[in-house]
Structure 1
Amino acid sequence: MVSIKKLIILLVIFSIIKDTLYAQNNDRYPIVLNMVHHNPGEPIFYTKYAQPNYLKELNYNGQVPKFFVECGITYDNLYDEIVPQKTEERLWIEREATAIQMQIDFAREANMPLYPFTDVLVLPKSVMEKFKNQMTTDGHLSILKPKTQEILRAQINGIFDRFPELDGLTIRHGETYLFDTPFHIGETPARTPKEHIELIKILKEEICVKRNKTLFYRTWDFGFFHTQPDFYKEVTDAIESHSLLYFSIKHTNADFLRNVPFNTTIGLGKHQQIVEISINQAGLYGKNSHPYYIGKGIIEGWPEMTQKKGIKDLYDDSKIKGFWVWTWGDGWAGPYFSNEMWIHLNEYIIRQFAKNPLRKEEDIFKEYAVQKLHLSDVDAKKFRELCLLSVNAVYLGQASNLFDADAWWARDQYLTAINLKEVITKALKKEVITEKKKNLDVWRQMEQLSREINMKNEKDNTFLKVSTTYGRIKYEIIDLIWKLQLIAAEVDLKKNIDKKELKNLLEQYEYKWNEWQEFKKNNPSCPTLYLDNKAVYVKNPFQESVKILKALL
């Protein structure tokens, strides 16, 4: 008879063996994809994450490259020479096709499956000019028009005839960017449930049924298919399931923002799904130019969530087949930097969790700190502390737990004039200023920790310290922007202001910018600085507010 003591020992041993096996051999999520999304209209990112052989080493089993396969075909299968010979348009298309083929060949050598990020419906201008009137309703492309359906089928046929080695496509709609395709034009052909249903049926037939290829259909739009359960169900319930059809959904119930729920359409319906995760989180939180640890928040849920939910909660839903990680891109412009240290950390945590979802986030983090960064136990603990502090140091540096602040005011490399009238009308000025002051204390604590940590890699060691100081100065500048915008809000609301305080804040603002610029000059690894005199795809640059405030003195 086995004694209780021996039984306990056996149970402990079994638990250790079970945890080890789960950590090493958990195949719960068969799909783990990676994408580098180059900023539209800009030079491409030179990163190892764009290299198929490197992704293979990291155990990704699919790449979602952005190399415009929809723009590498001539539509001769539709009408012979509809894109005329000896024209710049056709020469550009043929050149693009050769570049695409070379990248496909590189991926083939690495045995890396490819599912290119594909805009539908983007067409050569000559094709669009010829058939536009037969493809549009109320000035917009519609998949319900027979000619649109014919041309879409010709597009899919053309892609797989020209690039037969492709393993499938990742279909994007809703945001159609033409910055890098000078001879093409287009827009989304699907907005309503009826249009999405028709589009998916055609794509599934052409890609999955006829060719036995994989179709990842993104649900991303602006508040409909992506976030409304009824909309999602209406569309997907009308589509028959297929083993090669997946719906791809961002993990957030909006764009990649903080202070929003976990996506309410994940897990709905009958179809297979994959979950999209951006390492850059919509370009809102520094884009990995400074410490901002996302691993714990994405896996377990963010601190501010009223109903905490993360990707760890998807384990028991068999419809969830994997994850798609964006390592670069997601946003516009900068900041730019040459050291991927913070990207490497966040990517590693998400990737290792996807491969071994029963592991604890803390254990994966420690593994990275010790095995990849080669930190001592003491430094690993300090690095962990710094990263956990960054979770709220970044968020509360530019948002608030006291009211619902606009998330987009500091996107990418732009600092704009955030509207803080709500703070004044709700009499929260003192509390908001205190919140920001406490947050700056956290940044100074992080900066001190960065100076105490010793990394074996000298470049990483330098970047750790430089990027943390960069972040501290950035959020000191943001603190001043908030204080000045609170005064601007008081002016707009016809309240009295303290002009002496205003003058002092404006002087501090100029001084802090001088400090940031000097820091950049003296530290070659320092990321590029933000801009307060220019804003693209966001609201007015903060310098416009500065001019108005200076005029009050």
Structure 2
Amino acid sequence: MDNKRRDFIKNSAIAGAGLLVMPSVVFAGESSFIEDAIVKEDLFLLDMVHHNPGETKTESKFTDPAFLKSYGYGAKVFFLFEAAQFGIDWNTLDRAVFPTDSDGEKWIAEKKAILNREYNKTKQVGLSVYCMLDMLVFPTALVEKHKTEMCNSAGKIDITKPFTQQAVKSLLEQMFDTYPQLDGLVIRTGETYLQDAPHHTGGSPVVNGLADHVVLLNILREVVCVQRNKKLFYRTWDISRFHPLPKHYLEVTNQVSAHDNLYFSIKHTIVDFWRMGVDSNRPAWGSFDSFWIDEASKYGVPFNPCLGIGKHKQIVEVQCQREYEGKASHPNYIAKGVIDRFKELENLPSPQCLNEFKKSGLFAGVWTWSRGGGWGGPYTKYELWPELNAYVMAQWAKHPAKTEKDIFKGFCKMKGVPETQVDDFHKLCLLSADGVFKGNYSAMGNVFINWTRDDKAFGLHFLESSFKHIVEQNKVDAYLAEKEEAASIWNEIRLLSGKILFANAEETTFLKASCEYGFLKYSFFAAAWNVLLRYYEQNYRGKTDYEQLRSYIKDYDDKWNKWKIFTEINAYSPTLYSLEADFFGNKVGLKDTVDKIRVLVE
């Protein structure tokens, strides 16, 4: 995939205590699984609200440390722009970075006051304080002044340069000296967000190859883990290599000595928080040199194969408000699949879920993103669906011997759902995972995995290669039937929603509204696929049925109007999707494609 396409998909509006376990010796490339392990209930349990960069912060009960404490969390992870790196003045390295009375100095002082207040509030309720920060990010003035000492010939900050390493060490020392509340750091290197950092610049430290991770990791390990005796969670997240593929994970981590304070943080999915039917005839993971959108679309999305290998302890990242799957605008109960396997993973070798990975001597905890991720909408002020996922994940991490269903019943009791309605509500939630999977993705695989994300839906620009395969395999009817099946599942969900009552009347009303929203959304998606795929098939075969396409377009328009009107008249409805999108000057939204077809057939 070229960089422009990758960037578009990304940017379009796209603490606890302790160690787990029984120690075990793990050799490079081998899994560390103990079939009869007794899992101790002292896993790390962290949470973070992922605010949309450049937008107003998300309003959420999950930003309240007292609420997190009540759910059993042991730590709060502060998001990127709440990180300590933006509240230090750099005077110990270079007093000229933020001159007295400059805009930068004032900005830093304001940020420092905010961070101290929020960190203190978190410590006061007994939670550990971690902040996630992008590396390498430094004050713009520092980089400009020392450009030849910090940057390579392409102008990118280079971790192999001595002054850059000195700056990293200074950054770490300043953060811990300025904010003694910090219990450790979460490091991200795979992407760099600067939207809310007007006086800073930076980029990924990996400019010379994966060996750059090793250089950075060894600096971080020495300063954070050894000298400061703080926790370090190093995220493996990147685009296509370190995060998804065992050979690259081991290439990096085998060059870093294990330490009691060092953990690697890995998403439970091989790529981003996506799903897709897994091809049973896929090549072995070792044969890939990279694995990203195209590979996931073709071969599927299993549990991350890097979990359970190597010599370092690992925590697992779980997104509770999935950005590619509706963002809490409708039910999407992913907790069951994360704990006990998603249906598309049933025939794959272990581990494919947390109940299997917990047997590993490397498993050290769970990090939930209770809210956020991605960009833009859809927006809703109600937190029912991400709260459900976060509750089940948190309670499982606290008590990993408990079943998902027992934990789910605890959520129902807390919400005042009558015992006679619990099974119906559980069925509704399980159906939502199937409805999202078949509506967004495919059990048959081979669908461009990002054809919809956030509050966007795209057209043939991204779906064309998938449609070519579908037509050549004579599976058009099967794929369209799957989208209709998704709509039928959502119809069942909305009918079930009428049987469920919460103690809070507003939550009951939102439950029904969000299920109706989901039904309208996936009914529209099915209608849109009828237009797009039938048009592509007919064009591919050189025989256009204008009457049929006009009929599909009419259904598409009707379904869109119903969805749109619902969001306008229902006060509890999440915001509507947008069908228009721009990709470097090209119109690539769903509406853009359908309007072109409309002109051809009318």
The reply to whether TM is greater than 0.5 is yes
Asked if residue 292 in structure 1 is aligned to residue 339 in structure 2, the reply is no
Residue 190 of structure 2 aligns with an amino acid whose one-letter code is: G
1:146 aligns with 2:188: no
Aligned to 2:281: none
Amino acid of the residue matched to residue 368 of structure 2? V
Aligned to 1:304, the other structure's residue is in SS state helix
Which one is further off, 34-43 or 516-525? Answer: 516-525
Structure 1 pair 399–26 and aligned structure 2 pair: CA distance change class (3 A) = closer
Q: Is the 8 A contact 1:284 1:407 kept in 2?
A: no
User: Which sits farther off after the overlay, 416-425 or 37-46?
Assistant: 416-425
Aligned residue in 2 for 1:506: 553
- In structure 2, what is the equivalent of residue 255 of structure 1? 272
Residue 440 of structure 2 is matched in structure 1 by 398
CA gap of 1:403–1:316, structure 2 versus 1, over 3 A, is: closer
Displacement of 1:439: 2.3
Give the C-alpha shift of residue 494 in structure 1: 5.3
Structure 1 residue aligned with 2:192: 176
The residue correspondences of 1:243-322 to structure 2 (distance < 5 A) are 243-259=260-276, 260-281=301-322, 283-305=323-345, 306-307=347-348, 309-322=352-365
Q: Percent identity?
A: 35
Q: How far apart, CA to CA, are the structure 2 residues paired with 1:472 and 1:33?
A: 33
CA distance in 1, matches of 2:40, 2:134: 31
Structure-2 residue corresponding to 1:59: 72
After superposition, give the CA deviation of every residue in 1:409-467 in whole Å (9 maximum; x if it has no partner). 11000011133232222211112222222222211111111112232221111111110
Deviations 1:26-70 (A, max 9, x none): 743421000111011111011111111211111111111110321
CA RMSD of aligned residues (A): 1.9
How is 1:27-66 mapped onto 2 (pairs within 5 angstroms)? Answer: 27-66=40-79
Residues 279 and 327 in structure 1, CA contact (< 8 A), matched pair in contact too:
yes
Q: What is the alpha-carbon distance in structure 2 between the residues aligned to residue 61 and residue 44 of structure 1?
A: 23
Q: Structure 1's 367 and 164: CA in aligned 2 closer, same or farther, altered over 3 A?
A: closer
Q: Which amino acid aligns with 1:89?
A: G
- Which amino acid is the alignment partner of residue 204 of structure 1? R
Q: Please, what TM-score do these two structures have when normalized by structure 2?
A: 0.84
SS in 2 for 1:246: strand
Q: Alpha-carbon deviation of 1:190? A: 2.6
- Aligned 8 A contact 1:65 1:115 in 2: yes
| Structure 2 residue 221 is the aligned partner of structure 1 residue 204 | yes
- Determine which of 77, 80, 91 is the counterpart of 2:95: 80
CA distance in 2 between partners of 1:414 and 1:156 (Å): 39
Task: After superposing the two structures, state which structure 1 stretch, 483-492 or 108-117, moved more.
Answer: 483-492
- Which amino acid in structure 2 is aligned with residue 524 of structure 1? A
User: Is 1:351–2:394 an aligned residue pair?
Assistant: yes
Aligned residues of 1:26 and 1:355 also touching (Cα < 8 A): no
Tell me the amino acid that sits aligned with residue 64 of structure 1: V
Tell me, in whole angstroms, the C-alpha distance in 2 between the residues paired with 1:314 and 1:113. Answer: 25
Residues 1:217 and 1:55: Cα distance change in structure 2 (over 3 Å): same
Contact conserved, 1:349 with 1:365, CA < 8 A, in 2? yes
SS at match of 1:551: helix
For residue 115 of structure 1, give the secondary structure of its aligned residue in structure 2. Answer: strand
Q: Determine helix, strand or coil for the equivalent of 2:243.
A: coil
Letter of the 1:81 partner, please give it.
A
2:406 — aligned with what? Answer: 363
* 3-state DSSP of counterpart to 1:226: coil
> Which residue of the partner structure matches residue 15 of structure 1?
none
Q: Is the 8 A contact 1:29 1:320 kept in 2?
A: no
Report what 1:338 is aligned to. 381
Q: In the TM superposition, what whole-angstrom CA distance separates every residue of 1:52-95 from its partner, at most 9, and x where no partner exists? A: 12111111111111103212222111122332222212221222
Aligned-partner Cα distance in 2 for 1:47–1:382: 27
Moved more, 400-409 or 33-42: 400-409
SS in structure 1 at match of 2:375: coil
Name the residue aligned to 2:258.
241
Structure 2 CA distance, aligned partners of 1:58 and 1:365?
A: 14
Q: Per-residue CA shift, 1:252-300, capped at 9, x if unaligned?
A: 111111131111111111111111111123x111112101111211011
Partner of 1:472: 519
TM-score (norm 1): 0.92
CA distance in 2, matches of 1:199, 1:107: 29
Provide the C-alpha distance between the structure 2 equivalents of 1:422 and 1:267, rounded to a whole number of angstroms. Answer: 35
Is the Cα–Cα contact under 8 Å of residues 62 and 115 in structure 1 kept in the other structure? yes
Deviation digits for residues 124-176 of structure 1, max 9, x if unmatched?
11111111222222422221111110111111112112212211111111200
- CA drift at 1:507: 2.0
**Is 1:166 aligned to residue 203 of structure 2?**
no
Match of 2:45, SS state, is: strand
Task: Tell me how far apart the structure 2 counterparts of residues 70 and 61 of structure 1 sit (CA, whole Å).
Answer: 23
Gaps of 5+ in 2: 1-37, 277-300
Structure with bigger gyration radius: 1
Q: Tell me which residue corresponds to 2:540.
A: 493
Structure 1 residue 401: Cα displacement: 2.0
The one-letter code of the counterpart of 1:198 is: V
Contact residue 439 and residue 526 of structure 2 kept, 8 A:
yes
User: How big is the shift at 1:343?
Assistant: 1.3
Output the CA distance in 2 between the equivalents of 1:93 and 1:99: 10
- CA contact under 8 A between 1:83 and 1:127: conserved in structure 2? no
Who is 2:83 aligned against?
Answer: 68
Please tell me whether the aligned partners of residues 581 and 587 of structure 2 are also in contact (alpha carbons under 8 angstroms): no
Letter in 2 for 1:483: N
Q: Secondary structure at the match of 1:212?
A: coil
Match of 2:456, SS state, is coil
Do the aligned partners of residues 44 and 388 (structure 1) sit closer, same or farther apart at CA in structure 2, a change above 3 Å counting? same
| Aligned match of 1:227 | 244
TM-fit CA distance, 1:179: 0.6
* SS of match in other structure, 2:578: coil
Flag structure 1 segments of 5+ consecutive residues without an equivalent: 1-24
Contact 2:98–2:104 (CA under 8 A) maintained in structure 1:
yes
